[in-house]
Amino acid sequence: MLPRSADYTSLVREFRWQIPARYNMGVDVCDRHADGSGRPALIFVEENGAVRNYSFDDLKRLSNQFANVLITRGLQRGDRIGVLLPQSPETAIAHVAAFKAGLISIPLFVLFAEQALAVRLGNSGARALVTDRAGADKLAAIRDQLPDLEHIYIVGSGGTDDFGALLARASDRFVPVDTAADDPAVIIYTSGTTGAPKGALHAHRVLLGHLPGVELPHNFLPQPGDRLWTPADWAWIGGLFDVLLPGLHHGVPVLAYRAAKFDPEAAFQLMAKHEIRNAFLPPTALRLMRQVRDTRPPGLALRSVGSGGESLGAELLEWGRAVLGTDINEFYGQTECNLTISSCAALFPVCPGAMGKAVPGHDVRIVDESGMELPVGAVGNIGVRRPDPVMFLGYWRNDQATRAKFAGDFLITGDLGRQDAEGYLWFVGRTDDVITSGGYRIGPGEIEDCLAGHPAVAMAAVVGKPDKLRTEIVKAWVVLRPGHSPSDALAREIQDFVRTRLAAHEYPREVAFIDQLPITTTGKVMRRELRGRR
């Protein structure tokens, strides 16, 4: 969507959205490139190093087959389907097929444990799920809690529910559903400060809304020879809509590889071996990579690197220029309204500490609680003016939370910031209690609810504690029930309790025992006071 330009101001002034009335993401990212030429779409690198290549022709054929499986099994337009898989061809096939069939896909993180999956699948009312054997084992423990879940397709099961076998028997001809750009397409769950996670419902147009915010940090993607990769899981909006789907939209090959644990040296080798030109590397990944290399690895030929979620700082930016061979362009967004602010070294200087400038097409302002714009230099809410094609339709089955997300004409991000006279936007802090750790945004509510289920826990509060590597770690303050005494063993038991029920990235890395939690007169936990105690 962004024409090549050497001037940011004129690019913003001349930008126009190109959003058709009728639009289907599945057709856009797949069928329009499937011209019989074998144009490469996905390069799948397995953990043992084996490589499988998929063309757009392959992706069209396989997604058509799975769309036919879904329709034959009785799924109808608007039904929800979960995708619980790591970076893999099957993940892309499942989402593309869902979009073509007019279904609503739900990306799910493979590290989610049973309780986290039950909440998301239950709230969405998912009728189908695509997963692997590990995911199927988790589902077996909670299947009776999910009355709407009728169909589970398992990659590599070898049985009657085997994903590959079902596709092989299905027709590769499918007429995609004629969807409007505003029709719902995907639910991505985001952490909240209280209670269960909320499902951000997005329309098909959300991909088009992402494009300027992808093209800008990658210095005008696509260019000849571009090839994309990120270690970020495709279950998150950063992996799915910052890399996979925009890459396929532009016909840029995407590398699918995500090890069980991030290995910084292996990341360097992977990018060099597979000639990655464009990478989205979260801040924690960059910090780990900095620990293992201070010179450029042989064969590395990156053209662009984007990063988002946390400020990088001048030293890490300098390291990126020296070792990665390019400027790291920071960007900003959130699940409800992603990629609205970005740096672009090809257009304007990268300013250490700043998130960048408003991406063309997005009206980003610093506003007060009522949505009124504040003067240059003032600290206030980072707001995005509506309507905006990248903005969510609303929270799934939660109208009250949707209304609370807006003030006047602006979506309120929940982040405080300021804007300087040159248009750079600076992150100041959160207005709520969401924890930023290792590139993930973690809401304390779901963790606190989980902690309350431990037999030794009477009350618990969760806060973020500063950490040099992860920005913050999750810390739990726990009030014990009578008959239980603080100990290191009990702390480890409580940590494992959360880890095995929610996800590895959500468990409290520190547990502190306290006689009573600080609360307000209305009974709310004063997390700010706990953060001050460290």
Whether the CB-CB separation of 35 and 29 falls below 8 Å is answered with no
E strand or H helix at 267: helix 264-273
Q: Given phi > 0 = left and psi -120 to 50 = alpha, else beta, which region is 130?
A: beta
Looking at the chain, the domain(s) classified CATH 3.30.300.30 span: 435-533
Q: Is 349 helix (H, G, I), strand (E, B) or coil?
A: coil
| pLDDT exceeds 80 at position 421 | yes
For 109, list phi and psi in degrees, rounded to 5.
-75, 130
Which of 88-97, 241-250, 438-447 is predicted with the least confidence, judged by mean pLDDT? 438-447
Whether the CB-CB separation of 72 and 169 falls below 8 Å is answered with no
Cα–Cα dist 341/357, whole Å: 5
Q: Quick check: pTM over 0.85?
A: yes
Peptide bond into 508 cis (omega under 30): no
Looking at the chain, the domain(s) classified CATH 3.40.50.12780 span: 24-179
Angle between helices 444-451 and 488-499 (to 10 degrees): 120
Cα–Cα dist 458/455, whole Å: 8
Query: Mean pLDDT throughout 3-29?
Result: 95
| pLDDT exceeds 70 at position 318 | yes
Q: What is the pLDDT of residues 41-71, one digit of tens each?
A: 999 999 889 999 999 999 999 999 999 999 9
| pLDDT exceeds 60 at position 409 | yes
Which of 49-53, 115-119, 358-362, 441-445 is predicted with the least confidence, judged by mean pLDDT? 441-445
Q: What fold characterizes domain 24-179?
A: Rossmann fold (3.40.50)
DSSP 5: -
Is 63 exposed, middle or buried, given 0-12, 13-18 or 19+ CB atoms closer than 10 A? buried
Is 261 exposed, middle or buried, given 0-12, 13-18 or 19+ CB atoms closer than 10 A? exposed
Which CATH superfamily, name and number, covers 435-533? ANL, C-terminal domain (3.30.300.30)
Angle between helices 133-142 and 114-124 (to 10 degrees): 80
Q: What is the pLDDT of residues 125-166, one digit of tens each?
A: 999 999 999 999 999 999 999 999 999 999 999 888 999 999
Cα–Cα dist 362/370, whole Å: 20
H helix intervals, 73-205: 89-100, 114-124, 133-142, 163-169
